[in-house]
C-alpha cells in the first residue's frame, strides 16, 4: 500500500447493496401491482421503494482518500472536498451507545471526518443523529482505517469503539 496513492471507497457497501436490492425488488412489485390494477398494493410498495431508495442514495456515496485529503460524491456528482488541514478530527465511533457497561460490543463502527474537534457530548450527539449530513463518513474496515492512517498525520479519536477489536500495529504507539 503506497502512501501516494488515492483510493475510492463506497461509504457503506453492505447498506447500499441491501437497500438497492430491496428498492429494485419493491419497484418490480410496484410495476406488477399496477399491471394487475392493484393500486393500494402499488402505493404501499411505492412508499417502501422510496424509503429504500433514499437509504440507497445516502449510503451509496463515494469517498476518494488521497494524500491531499478527502472528496465525497454520489457517483461523481456533487463533490465535497476537504484537505487534511481542514479536518479537525478524524475518528472511529461505535453506534451502540446505550449498552451494558460490561459489554465489549460497540455496534456498527464508522470512520468519520469532522471539520472541527468534537467534545464527548458532541460525539454522543453525532452518534444519536447518525448519519450527520455535515460529517463525511465511511463504514469501518481495518484496511480502510490503515490506509487513512497513512494519510493522516494526527491521532485518530476512538469513541465507543472497542480498541481490542481494532488491534493495529500503529495503535500501540498512541
Same domain, 129 and 82: yes
Residues in the chain: 174
Per-residue pLDDT, 20: 95
Q: Is the pTM of this model over 0.85?
A: no
Position 173 pLDDT exceeds 50: no
* CA 98, 102, 105, 110 torsion-angle sign: positive
Cβ–Cβ under 8 Å, residues 90 and 40: no
Q: Give the mean pLDDT of the chain.
A: 85
Mean pLDDT check: name the lowest of 59-68, 100-109, 127-136, 155-164: 100-109
Per-residue pLDDT, 130: 85
Classify residue 7: in a domain, yes or no.
Answer: no
Classify residue 5: in a domain, yes or no.
Answer: no
Position 79 pLDDT exceeds 90: no
Same domain, 94 and 156: yes
Per-residue pLDDT, 34: 96
Q: Identify the domain containing residue 50 by its residue range.
A: 12-59
Same domain, 104 and 164: yes
Classify residue 48: in a domain, yes or no.
Answer: yes
C-alpha cell at 150: 497513512
Per-residue pLDDT, 169: 46
Classify residue 2: in a domain, yes or no.
Answer: no
Nearest-angstrom CA–CA distance, 30 and 45: 6
pLDDT per position as a tens digit, 94-152: 887 666 666 666 678 999 999 999 998 999 999 888 888 889 999 998 899 989 988 89
Per-residue pLDDT, 3: 47
More confident residue, 164 or 150: 150
Same domain, 156 and 81: yes
Same domain, 87 and 43: no
Same domain, 94 and 44: no
Per-residue pLDDT, 1: 37
Q: CA angle 17-71-156, nearest 5°?
A: 90
Position 171 pLDDT exceeds 80: no
Give the mean model confidence (pLDDT) for residues 153-169. Answer: 71
Same domain, 106 and 22: no
Q: How far is CA 75 from CA 90, 98, 123, in A?
A: 23, 34, 28
Cβ–Cβ under 8 Å, residues 144 and 138: yes
Amino acid at each position: 500500500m503506497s502512501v501516494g496513492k488515492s483510493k475510492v471507497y463506497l461509504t457503506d457497501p453492505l447498506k447500499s447493496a441491501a437497500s438497492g436490492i430491496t428498492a429494485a425488488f419493491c419497484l418490480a412489485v410496484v410495476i406488477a401491482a399496477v399491471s394487475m390494477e392493484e393500486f393500494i398494493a402499488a402505493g404501499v410498495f411505492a412508499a417502501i421503494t422510496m424509503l429504500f431508495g433514499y437509504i440507497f442514495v445516502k449510503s451509496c456515496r463515494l469517498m476518494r482518500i488521497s494524500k491531499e485529503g478527502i472528496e465525497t460524491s454520489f457517483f461523481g456528482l456533487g463533490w465535497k472536498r476537504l484537505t487534511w488541514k481542514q479536518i479537525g478530527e478524524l475518528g472511529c465511533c461505535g453506534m451502540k451507545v446505550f449498552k451494558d457497561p460490561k459489554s465489549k460490543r460497540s455496534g456498527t463502527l464508522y470512520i468519520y471526518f469532522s471539520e472541527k474537534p468534537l467534545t464527548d457530548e458532541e460525539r454522543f450527539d453525532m452518534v444519536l443523529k447518525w448519519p450527520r449530513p455535515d460529517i463525511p463518513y465511511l463504514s469501518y474496515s481495518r484496511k480502510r482505517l490503515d490506509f487513512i492512517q497513512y494519510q493522516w498525520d494526527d491521532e485518530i479519536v476512538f469513541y465507543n469503539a472497542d480498541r481490542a477489536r481494532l488491534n493495529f500495529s500503529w495503535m500501540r504507539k498512541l
